[in-house]
Amino acid sequence: MTRTRCSRRAAGVLAGAATIVAATVAPSTAIEGDTLTVAGPATGTVGLPVVLTANGVLADHYLDRWLEVFALPTAVVSSCPPSVMNAPTVASGSSSIGGDLVATAVHAGNAEPYSIPIVWSPRVAGTYLVCTYLNHQIYTDVLHQHTITISNGGGTVTTPPPPVVTPPSTGSAPARLTAPRLAKQGARLVCSRGTWSGSPTSYAYKWKVGSKVKAGATSSKLRITRALRGKTVSCGVVARNAAGSTTAWSRRLRVR
């Protein structure tokens, strides 16, 4: 796996003489034949929202997908990092000149085709690569690169209206149909959310080590550290809709 490293000053600001160059490579292997494209304007204005749309087709209905989106300055990268694992490093290291985490873990669902809006409010003028990744829980990526130039002002950016969120038709909180599942994948524990009735509109994650909830662990993935080995771990999924929320827990797994 290629890793992209940032050169920083002690204060955490990208050093002026340093650059981060992403190798020019083909996009990572697609997930079961899934496709991904990004459509939207080629220009925008500092401080105004730019709306792009991720479109594609999911070939497998039984595997959750996640969109993760980063705006990376072309002064820092020549092409998008081939893996979503490297993009956060570049975005963080170039934040002082506009590098940005646009969206992370936007659920792509299990239906085909999909169309998901991506809203970005640029902070610094320049030219950016909007690097959009479609991945599942073991980071097999589909990558699409969109170039956009941001000006300091004087123009108007026309954006599509925000997506309309339809309230769930049910009058009760979500109900668990199948429990979350916990599995070890490499150096991480991965929690799949199970299935639910009640048309949940969002999901959140939490983790228990033994009987205690682990503070700050809110992702669907948990890195295995030395402190976790030998202990039992479970993951919880909180499903929400307009009527309320319900939490379901996976079986406990002993970390080895």
Task: Give the per-residue pLDDT at 165.
Answer: 56
Structural domains in the chain, CATH included, are: 37-151 (2.60.40.10), 175-254 (2.60.40.10)
Strand pairing of 66-73 and 126-135?
A: antiparallel
User: Going residue by residue through the chain (256 aa), what tens digit of pLDDT does each one get?
Assistant: 333 333 333 333 343 333 444 433 344 456 667 889 999 999 999 999 999 999 988 877 767 788 999 999 999 999 999 888 889 999 999 999 999 999 887 877 666 788 899 999 999 999 999 999 988 766 578 899 999 999 987 544 444 555 665 554 547 889 999 999 999 999 999 999 999 998 999 999 999 999 899 999 999 999 999 999 999 999 999 999 988 999 999 999 999 8
Task: Give the per-residue pLDDT at 155.
Answer: 46
- Which residues neighbour 196 within 8 Å (Cβ) at sequence distance 6 or greater? 174, 175, 176, 177, 239, 246
For the whole prediction, is pTM greater than 0.75?
Answer: no
Q: How many CB atoms lie within 10 A of CB 103?
A: 19
Q: How many CB atoms lie within 10 A of CB 196?
A: 19
Question: b/e string for 216-255 if b means 16 or more Cβ within 10 A?
Answer: ebebbbbebeeebeeeebbbbbbbbbeeeebebbbeebeb
- For residues 151 and 46, the answer to whether their CB atoms sit within 8 Å is yes
Task: Give the per-residue pLDDT at 6.
Answer: 36
Task: Give the per-residue pLDDT at 22.
Answer: 41
